[in-house]
């Protein structure tokens, strides 16, 4: 699959990367899926076969006579198909140029993407399988304790939300707070959208589970029904987000926007507050919506981390996640568990990372690249302003704000504010830029991280909560100090328009066929805009993936780390985590940082910086 992704990253639009899809497109005979070959109809209640097909257990397929011949043919073609696909993809990669190299005798040597595959992806695959095999130790006792706390917190929040709902729905205790449809009715009805043929009435009846086993009509019923009916009357709050079908969305993000920050000092009420004439009712609603959002957050932590980690841990208390090289940019994804979705440190109310610990007698080194994509943006675009700012060090976002706003720069030059201050010297004599011009620095920070993703004035206007014109003006101020970035982005889009691809720092291709379209239809132009944004962000995000891959390979191959007993146990975003004996942790940490900061044979225009800490858990080492 790695070969297929290296050859064509756009196949997700045409069948994907399964053996079935690849064999259908690249070979004469499609590999049939198991459901098609072995599926048997699921029987209905009356014993007749239904439309759904079930696949028997593998043990049955291997042993039962009626399946044996088909199973042998399936298994043989599985191996045969894989072998032939390897040959086909090898030829395709050999036909694709990676780079040219001038040799000592003056001759030019051509290297293909198959050379790239052999040199990097084959050993990287081995590195990932070793990492999966090792796994990461988890503290099961800690997780069990956290689970009980999370369940208790959720129950308390649910009780308080039901108390608020009871003001409007007499049977609130029976309402299903996990039902998006019922929340949609409560919050947004009455609502209509004739174009989408959507009409939410003021009141609507819902069937809910008859938990109390109440017999509603004793004259006609001898036993309680499974469900009861409740009526939910809507509050008519204007929706802020919509589903794909056009219905008002009651998602966690929508609840967050409606609620605002009612517990802040002073409170910062969300969009729902404006709907109510009575300020107290508006405040109570925002608080209840915040609690509904918190319930959703707790559910996410329980279902994605707290419960799965306990279920997935082996007899030694280690979790062996599955790492996949299946993103368009080359970044890793993970599942069972999906560690990429770890909550941010400031939102991790249960300190999930504290459950990831070193085994007895060992420690963890958690090493994280600092502003990796920004540094790579500076290198790839050769932006003088960014390169100089990184070389100067200090607060990069404050320096960006100073370059964007004349009045901020004048305040720094006049000595009214300080760009930075050494806290060891005590309190600064005048305010710091990040405090005196917090809004400007925030805008600069958002822009710094948004530019690499091809953010438009429309998207920034939403981020800044300003008009599109104000957002466009702010964007132009950023570019005015960094003209090389804009020139590079324009060239990247032109290349994608002309050739239908973009490339990463190490030369990997991302195919962007939609960028070449000449059609003026809305759907084609929308796809083209998406492809052009990918032409901008892939070289940067892909460069970050290249850096992390090279760093992991350097660490994996390092004999000194291996001799000391240190092994990689996790890679997430821009972090690499190693585990090893406590007695040589400092030495391993120093070596690891050096390998990560120097992933290539030649240095980049901007120094890569890595922050690393040693401790007994992931949380403590952050």
For residue range 43-64, what is the model confidence (pLDDT) as tens digits? Answer: 888 888 888 888 888 888 888 9
303-331 burial, b if ≥16 CB within 10 A, otherwise e? ebbbebbbeebeeeebbebebebeebbbb
Which pLDDT value is given to residue 580? 98
Token digits of residue 527: 């796809």
Which pLDDT value is given to residue 534? 94
Backbone angles phi, psi at 109, to 5 degrees: -105, 130
Enumerate residues 6+ apart whose C-beta is below 8 A from 280.
none
Which pLDDT value is given to residue 48? 86
Backbone angles phi, psi at 180, to 5 degrees: -65, -35
Q: Is the pLDDT of residue 228 over 70?
A: yes
Q: Is the pLDDT of residue 368 over 90?
A: yes
**pLDDT tens per residue, range 532-546:** 999 999 999 999 999
Which pLDDT value is given to residue 129? 96
**pLDDT tens per residue, range 305-334:** 999 999 999 999 999 999 988 888 889 989
Which pLDDT value is given to residue 46? 82
- Cα 464 to Cα 389, 450, 481, distances in angstroms: 24, 12, 20
Rounded to whole angstroms, how far apart are CA atoms 348 and 438? 25
Confidence class of residue 463 from pLDDT cuts 50, 70 and 90?
A: confident
Confidence class of residue 395 from pLDDT cuts 50, 70 and 90?
A: confident
User: What is the pLDDT averaged over residues 194-217?
Assistant: 81
Q: Is the pLDDT of residue 112 over 90?
A: yes
Which residue, 283, 236, 247, 238, is CA-closest to 263? 283
Q: Is the pLDDT of residue 127 over 90?
A: yes
Which pLDDT value is given to residue 568? 97
**pLDDT tens per residue, range 157-184:** 999 999 999 999 888 888 889 899 999 9
Domain 321-371+500-622 has CATH 3.30.70.370: yes
User: What is the pLDDT averaged over residues 349-370?
Assistant: 95
Token digits of residue 434: 């990040």
φ/ψ region of 355 (left if φ > 0, alpha if ψ in -120 to 50, else beta) reads: alpha
Give helix then strand counts, H and E, for the chain.
Answer: 24, 20
Which pLDDT value is given to residue 218? 67
Which pLDDT value is given to residue 217? 67
Q: Is the pLDDT of residue 604 over 90?
A: yes
Rounded to whole angstroms, how far apart are CA atoms 382 and 606? 9
| Percentage of the chain lying above the pLDDT 70 cut | 98
Rounded to whole angstroms, how far apart are CA atoms 326 and 313? 24
Q: What is the pLDDT of the chain when averaged over all its residues?
A: 91
Which pLDDT value is given to residue 220? 67
Q: Is the pLDDT of residue 427 over 80?
A: yes
**pLDDT tens per residue, range 475-524:** 898 898 899 999 999 999 999 999 999 999 999 999 999 999 999 999 99
Which pLDDT value is given to residue 216? 66
φ/ψ region of 88 (left if φ > 0, alpha if ψ in -120 to 50, else beta) reads: alpha
**pLDDT tens per residue, range 117-126:** 999 999 999 9
Q: Are 483 and 519 in contact (CB under 8 A)?
A: no
User: What is the pLDDT averaged over residues 431-443?
Assistant: 92
Parse the chain into domains and list their residue ranges. Answer: 2-95, 142-310, 321-371+500-622, 384-481
């Amino acid at each position: 699959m790695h070969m297929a992704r290296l050859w064509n990253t756009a196949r997700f639009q045409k069948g994907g990367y399964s053996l079935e899809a690849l064999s259908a497109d690249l070979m004469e005979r499609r590999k049939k899926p198991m459901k098609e070959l072995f599926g048997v109809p699921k029987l209905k209640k009356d014993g007749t076969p239904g439309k759904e097909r079930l696949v028997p257990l593998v043990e049955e397929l291997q042993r039962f006579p009626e399946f044996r011949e088909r199973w042998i043919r399936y298994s043989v073609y599985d191996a045969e198909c894989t072998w032939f696909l390897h040959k086909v993809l090898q030829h395709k990669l050999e036909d694709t140029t990676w780079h040219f190299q001038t040799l000592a005798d003056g001759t030019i040597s051509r290297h293909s993407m198959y050379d790239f595959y052999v040199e990097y992806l084959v050993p990287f695959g081995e590195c990932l399988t070793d990492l999966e095999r090792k796994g990461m130790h988890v503290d099961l006792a800690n997780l069990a304790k956290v689970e009980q706390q999370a369940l208790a917190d959720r129950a308390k929040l649910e009780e308080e939300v039901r108390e608020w709902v009871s003001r409007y729905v007499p049977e609130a205790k029976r309402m299903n707070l996990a039902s998006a449809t019922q929340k949609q009715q409560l919050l947004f009805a009455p609502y209509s959208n004739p174009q989408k043929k959507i009409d939410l009435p003021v009141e609507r009846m819902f069937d809910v589970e008859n938990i109390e086993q109440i017999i509603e009509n004793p004259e006609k019923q001898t036993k309680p029904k499974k469900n009861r009916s409740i009526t939910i009357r809507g509050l008519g709050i204007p929706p802020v987000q919509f589903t794909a079908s056009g219905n008002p969305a009651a998602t966690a993000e929508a609840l967050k926007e409606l609620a605002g920050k009612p517990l802040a000092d002073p409170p910062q009420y969300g969009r729902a507050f404006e709907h109510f004439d009575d300020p107290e009712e508006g405040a109570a609603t925002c608080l209840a919506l915040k609690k509904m959002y918190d319930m959703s957050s707790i559910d996410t932590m329980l279902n994605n981390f707290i419960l799965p980690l306990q279920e997935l841990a082996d007899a030694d208390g280690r979790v062996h996640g599955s790492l996949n090289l299946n993103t368009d940019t080359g970044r890793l994804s993970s599942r069972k568990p999906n560690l990429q979705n770890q909550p941010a440190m400031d939102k991790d109310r249960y300190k999930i990372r504290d459950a990831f610990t070193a085994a007895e007698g060992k420690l963890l080194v958690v090493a994280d690249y600092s502003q990796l994509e920004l540094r790579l943006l500076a290198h790839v675009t050769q932006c003088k302003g960014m390169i100089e700012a990184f070389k100067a060090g200090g607060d990069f976002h404050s320096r960006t704000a100073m370059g964007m706003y004349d009045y901020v720069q004048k305040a720094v030059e006049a000595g009214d504010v300080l760009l930075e201050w050494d806290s060891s010297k005590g309190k600064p004599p005048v305010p710091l830029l990040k405090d005196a011009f917090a809004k400007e620095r925030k805008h600069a920070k958002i822009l710094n991280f948004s530019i690499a993703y091809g953010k438009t004035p429309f998207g920034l206007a939403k981020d800044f909560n300003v008009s599109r014109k104000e957002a466009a003006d702010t964007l132009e101020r950023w570019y005015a100090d960094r003209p090389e970035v804009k020139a590079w982005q324009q060239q990247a889009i032109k290349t994608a328009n002309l050739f239908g691809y973009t490339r990463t720092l190490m030369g990997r291709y991302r195919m962007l066929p939609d960028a070449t379209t000449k059609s003026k239809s809305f759907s084609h132009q929308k796809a083209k805009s998406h492809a052009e944004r990918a032409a901008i962000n892939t070289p940067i995000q892909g460069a970050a993936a290249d850096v992390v891959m090279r760093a992991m390979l350097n660490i994996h191959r390092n004999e000194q780390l291996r001799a000391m007993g240190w092994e990689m146990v996790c890679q997430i975003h821009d972090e690499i985590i190693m585990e090893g004996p406590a007695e040589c942790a400092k030495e391993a940490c120093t070596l690891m940082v050096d390998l990560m900061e120097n992933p290539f044979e030649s240095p980049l225009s901007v120094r890569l910086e890595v922050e690393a800490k040693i401790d007994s858990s992931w949380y403590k080492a952050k």
